[in-house]
Every structure is written in structure tokens, then in C-alpha cells.
Amino acid sequence: MAIKVGEKAPDFKAVSDTGSSITLSDALKDGPVVLYFYPKDETPGCTTEACTFRDRWDDIKKLGATILGVSSDSLESHKKFKEKRNLPFTLLSDPDKSIRKLYGATGAILPPRITFVIDSDGTIRHVYNSQLNARNHAVEAINALNLIRQKKEEP
């Protein structure tokens, strides 16, 4: 079962596509995080999803958020995928699926396509789980980030 809205996001440490280590807590210091889990680099749905996040990158950055994409692919696969698709955000390698397990983002047959929007205080503010609607993950994330911003601007 995936983590729910209102729960604290579990911290993790992973290796990024650049080979450097990153923790969620470090990423949250810069603002909200869009953490999206996807099944595999260079597959049709995952490529659509990643390219939609790429195409909406400016909107997401304007909302102060960082995008972290997670799959069990190798660092080499991530590097090739990122370069080929011109992805401006970080991809994390989760070969043992430990991050997926922390977030309950596991499936019986296929790993699910699920996006978590995490506020800078570490609280899950939105969860979107759709294996088939890969394009909508970025839209859902932007809508959630807009709500986070609106709530912070309220007196």
C-alpha cells in the first residue's frame, strides 16, 4: 500500500544519474519535491511520462520544486535515457527497489507508475497512481504544487 497524503515521506539515500549520492532530506532543503516512480527507461509509457515532465520543467521550477525520477534501471541506463531525451531533472537508480518499498510503490507483476508531491516540510501532499495515463503525472504534480503555493500564501 502506497504512502498516503498527510503522511511523512520516508527519507532515503540514492545514487543519481551523475554518480553522486542524494537524500530526500537534502532535496527538500530547496523546496517541494516531485518524486515519481516509473517502471523502466526507454519504454513507451515511461518515455512519455519523462518527456512530459521535461516539457513542463519550467512550470515546475517556477513553483520551486525539484523532480526526482526513480526506477530500478542502472546508472548507465539512466545516463543514456537522460541524454537521449534531454531530461533536465535527476534520475535515481533503485536496483534493489528499496526506495519503492519505502513508499509502497510496488506491484505484483509490474512496478507501478506513481507520483508523490512532497512539501518542503517532508509531508506528502499529493499521490497520483496511474499506470496508463503517463502524461497526466506532470499535470497532477503541477496542480498539487500550485495548491501548496496557495496555502503558503494565505494569511
Query: Which residues on adjacent β-strands are paired with residue 71?
Result: 93
Domain presence at residue 46: yes
Question: Helices H, strands E: what count in the chain?
Answer: 6, 7
Domain presence at residue 28: no
Whichever domain contains 42, its CATH number is 3.40.30.10
The pLDDT of residue 53: 98
Domain presence at residue 70: yes
Question: How many structural domains does the chain have?
Answer: 1
Instruction: Kindly state the percentage of the chain with pLDDT values over 70.
Output: 99
Tell me the three state secondary structure of residue 145.
helix
- Give the active site residues: 46
Q: Which structural domain, as residue segments, surrounds residue 85?
A: 13-18+33-153
Q: Enter the pTM of the model.
A: 0.95
The pLDDT of residue 127: 96
Residue-wise pLDDT for 25-73, tens only, equals 999 999 999 999 999 999 999 999 999 999 999 999 999 999 999 999 9
CA angle 86-88-94, nearest 5°? 95
Domain presence at residue 1: no
Q: Once rounded to an integer, what is the mean pLDDT over residues 127-133?
A: 89
Mean pLDDT, the chain, rounded, equals 94
pLDDT band at 110 (very low <50, low <70, confident <90, very high): confident
Are residues 138 and 53 in contact, defined by beta-carbon separation less than 8 angstroms?
yes
Which grid cell is 91?
Answer: 534520475
CA atoms of 64 and 33, how far apart (whole Å): 9
Q: Once rounded to an integer, what is the mean pLDDT over residues 69-97?
A: 96
Domain presence at residue 76: yes
The single-letter DSSP state of residue 93 is E
Are residues 144 and 60 in contact, defined by beta-carbon separation less than 8 angstroms?
no
Domain presence at residue 3: no
pLDDT at 1 over 70: no
